[in-house]
Amino acid sequence: MVKPFTHVVVDGSNLATEGRTEPSLKQLNEAVLSFMNEFPDTKITVVVDATFGHRVDRKERAEFDAAINNNELVAPPAGAVGRGDGFVLTIADKVKASVLSNDSYQEFHDQYKWLFDEGRLIGGKPVPNVGWVFIQRLPVRKQSGRESAATLRRAKAVRAPSRPMPVPKSPPPTARVAANSPKPVAQSSKPTSNSKPTPKLNDLTAFLNFVEKNPVGSKLKGIVESYASHGVYVKVGEVLGYLPMRLMANPVPRSAREHVKLGASLNLVIVGYTPSRRSVELAVSGVEPVTTQRTTTRVPTQRTVGPIRTATTRIAQVKKAKRRRQKPKAVVKKSPHKKR
């Protein structure tokens, strides 16, 4: 059991790649939520590398962009010295916070001596059938004559300049066989059955009914259902809505747990919909963006039938068509050509 902390800076890129080759936004969210449940009074700041959004799965990029826009995730500015690791340690050094990461930051040992102080570095790892387990740790010191892990990663990233491909003097021996063989059937570009669908927050019927009755800008009341990493989920009628901390109060609260309690009733305003996740985006009344208006959000529904013509209009058109057919066409007489 790790002792409580006042403020923790999470190395998001490190936890998102724990036990993986590519980062997972889902794994990062699970780690942060587990830490929040274990230490509910701790302030949390999640930092990711500048390239994090390009390395996650394509299905998670929209959610990542939304988290960046909502200040749920923080990325270092372009050209930051030390990149993501340096930005994490700079924030922790400024606010005297602890760091949640499995990295040892060996290239920063001379700059940040407090990394070896008790309680300043926390490790975390997902354990099967248990969940995320967090434990206090000490960084591994750099041994003389050996490069740090970060230095080796940077060295592998630097590739030798590519040379032009040599021009073949004769076709490959399999060219004739390939010319006579039938053309391969193009593989379908449709996603396989193994691809996981985007998680839906609400039932389709309940979500469509709610959107039809409540356009953007509608005011209503909701009950706080559960906490999220940087906001809360609110029960509004038969659907769940998401209320981020940036639209919870002004100034923005540091923790959703400190600002609202489970079961609390809030006066809310609908600021948008996310049909791909069947999510209702909410804001506390008085904190909603200025651009929010009572406009109906376009949500995929059944195709509507075009305008119906009345019987009177149809009869008038039929009579007009008959008069045109009965009216004889005027015969134009051709004048004879004069002989010269």
Q: Mind listing the pLDDT tens digit for each residue in 231-263? A: 889 999 889 999 888 888 888 888 888 888 888
pLDDT of residue 336: 59
Say if residue 12 is in the same domain as residue 112: yes
Where does a domain end: 266, 284, 302? 284
Where does a domain end: 140, 168, 188? 140
Q: Mind listing the pLDDT tens digit for each residue in 130-142? A: 999 999 999 888 7
In-domain check, residue 14:
yes
Q: Which two tokens stand for residue 68?
A: 């960046």
Residue 205 has pLDDT above 60, yes or no: yes
In-domain check, residue 158:
no
In the structure, what pLDDT confidence band is assigned to residue 291 with cuts at 50, 70 and 90?
low
d(CA 203, CA 94): 45
Single pTM value for the model: 0.47
The dihedral region occupied by 152, where left means phi > 0, alpha psi between -120 and 50, and beta the remainder, is: alpha
- Any idea what the CATH number is for the domain that residue 128 is in? 3.40.50.11980
In-domain check, residue 23:
yes
Q: What is the mean pLDDT of residues 89-108?
A: 91
**Radius of gyration of the chain from Cα atoms?**
32
Structure-model confidence comparison of residues 83 and 231, the more confident one? 231
In the structure, what pLDDT confidence band is assigned to residue 324 with cuts at 50, 70 and 90?
confident
pLDDT of residue 45: 93
In-domain check, residue 123:
yes
pLDDT of residue 174: 60
Where does a domain end: 263, 284, 305? 284
Query: What H or E segment, with its residue span, contains residue 61?
Result: helix 61-69
> For residues 257 and 228, is the Cβ–Cβ distance under 8 A?
no
User: Which range marks the domain in which residue 256 is found?
Assistant: 204-284
Contacts of 27 (CB under 8 A, 6+ apart): 15, 16, 18, 20, 126
In the chain, what percentage of residues exceed pLDDT 90?
Answer: 24
- Any idea what the CATH number is for the domain that residue 210 is in? 2.40.50.140
Count of domains for the chain: 2
Q: What is the mean pLDDT of residues 59-67?
A: 89
Backbone angles phi, psi at 270, to 5 degrees: -80, 120
Structure-model confidence comparison of residues 139 and 335, the more confident one? 139
In-domain check, residue 124:
yes
In-domain check, residue 135:
yes
Q: Which two tokens stand for residue 15?
A: 């936890």
pLDDT of residue 28: 92
In-domain check, residue 52:
yes
In-domain check, residue 45:
yes
